[in-house]
Amino acid sequence: MLCLRCGSEVLDDSRFCQNCGALLNPQASGGDITSASQRKRRPAIVVASALGGAGLIAVVAALLILRPFAGSTNTPEPSPTPSPTTRATPTALSCEDERQPPGPADIFQKPVSVSVSLEGSPPPGYESSVPEMEVETALVMGTQDRVTLVTQAVATLDLSGHTEDFAQEVCLEPRDSRGFLIEEVSLEPSVVNVSVEITQAESSRALIVSPTVAGSPADGYNVVSVSAEPAVATVFGPESVVGDLATIRTQPVDIEGASGDVVRTVSLDLPADVSVSGGTSVTVTVKIEPAEGRRTLGITVAAVGLDPDMSISGALPLVEVVLLGELPLLQELRPNDVAATINLSGLGAGTHEIAVAVSVPAGASVAAVTPAKVSVTLERR
């Protein structure tokens, strides 16, 4: 036998439902009560007929007096037998509605779509993917007037503070087209598992390529410039990484002992999780030129233009010559590569102060001569 109120199966000889406590056979109990009342009223009705119209008023008054006493003889309705306590199996998440469900004859159901409502957001620099669920629809059940209002089953998920992928069981809520909660209905399933991917937000940035040079050029040579082609690279990666970059460096270019320009194609030195638009290699040019320097040499003065009838008294002195030029050239010069001379043309006997003239190889220049003039004494032969 089924309970007409909740639809639960009960024993055939039970008077009350063990699940909801409802009276199972109200007609039988109601008949007893009605019969007892009628038996109390029957003598009064007979007396009223015998007395006729003259005593009708007195009989009616008697009926009004006797009626409460007749009702008090009704058999009291026994209290509903409490339903036995059932131990529920514990679950991780319960979304059950404790309201009394409608009877089987009143149940109406329909499928509705399942959606996720996101609350909060991951920390700055992180972003979430579209939530994924195990089901796309849920079955809403209840009375027709309530079920008709439901247009969706919504799972609300809070993303605040999440920086990694996560999955969570979430209760479904029946809602109408405006998002309001509809009560007195149930959903099947009532709980869904929702998973969301959390990733670091990707950022892009144009950075200057900064070549890395290793080693030193040969002695007397200097690095005058370093350039890369392309000079700018656009990198992509997590904002926390890309945002801290000022330049993008290259793998080292070795110039050890070089005395001329060095041109190399090398890879960009990219941080982890960072990519670059286009190729990952650049061409680096290191321009190397001789260094400018100075060198001092002691040069013996030589006389030119001396009259054959004249001679020089004593030895000609040394002069100190300071040269400027490219260091590699200056370092290769020897004293006999530089000439310091005095011109004695047309000079007679006596002591003369004569300026020293210095000649040097191409690429070098004379910065100073000490002394600038020398004293020479000429005698006739």
Beta strands in 261-314 (DSSP E): 262-267, 275-276, 281-290, 292-304, 310-313
Q: On the CB side of 120, how many CA atoms lie within 13 Å of its CA?
A: 10
- Domain spanning 104-200, CATH class: mainly beta
pTM, full prediction: 0.45
Cβ within 8 Å of residue 90, ≥6 positions away: none
Q: Report how far residue 234's alpha carbon sits from residue 280's, in angstroms, rounded to the nearest whole number.
A: 10
Containing H/E element for 2? none
**Rounded distance between C-alpha atoms, residue 249 and residue 263, angstroms:** 16
Q: Are 282 and 233 in contact (CB under 8 A)?
A: yes
DSSP structure class, residue 309:
T
Q: Find, among 107, 98, 95, the residue nearest to 146 by Cα.
A: 107
Query: Can you give the pLDDT at residue 204?
Result: 86
Greatest Cα pair distance in the chain: 201
Token code pair at residue 30: 């109601």
> In 144-190, at which residue ranges do the beta strands (DSSP E only) sit?
152-158, 166-175, 185-188
CATH 2.170.120.40 domain locations along the chain = 104-200, 202-290
Distances (CA, A) of 200 to 89, 90, 125, 291: 41, 38, 6, 50
Residues forming CATH 2.170.120.30 domain(s) in the chain? 292-380
What CATH fold (topology level) applies to the domain 202-290?
Answer: RNA Polymerase Alpha Subunit; Chain A, domain 2 (2.170.120)
- Structural fold of domain 292-380: RNA Polymerase Alpha Subunit; Chain A, domain 2 (2.170.120)
Compute, in degrees rounded to 10, the torsion defined by CA atoms 369, 296, 287, 269. -140
pLDDT of residue 331: 87
For 20-40, how does the pLDDT look when each residue is reduced to its tens digit (9 = 90+)?
666 676 544 443 433 333 443
User: Each residue of 156-170: b (16+ CB within 10 Å) or e?
Assistant: ebebeebeeeeeeeb
* Sequential pLDDT tens for the chain (381 residues): 677 777 777 777 777 776 766 667 654 444 343 333 344 344 433 333 333 444 444 444 445 544 444 444 444 444 444 444 333 334 456 665 555 555 555 789 999 999 999 888 888 778 888 999 889 999 999 999 999 999 999 999 998 888 888 899 999 999 999 999 999 999 999 999 999 998 877 788 899 999 999 999 998 899 999 999 999 999 988 887 888 889 999 999 999 999 999 999 999 999 988 999 888 999 999 999 999 899 999 999 999 999 989 999 989 999 999 999 988 888 889 989 999 999 999 999 999 999 999 999 998 999 999 999 999 999 988
The runs of H, that is alpha helices, within the chain are: 26-51, 56-71, 144-147, 239-242, 327-332
Q: What amino acid occupies position 221?
A: Y
22, 23, 27, 28: CA torsion to nearest 10: 170
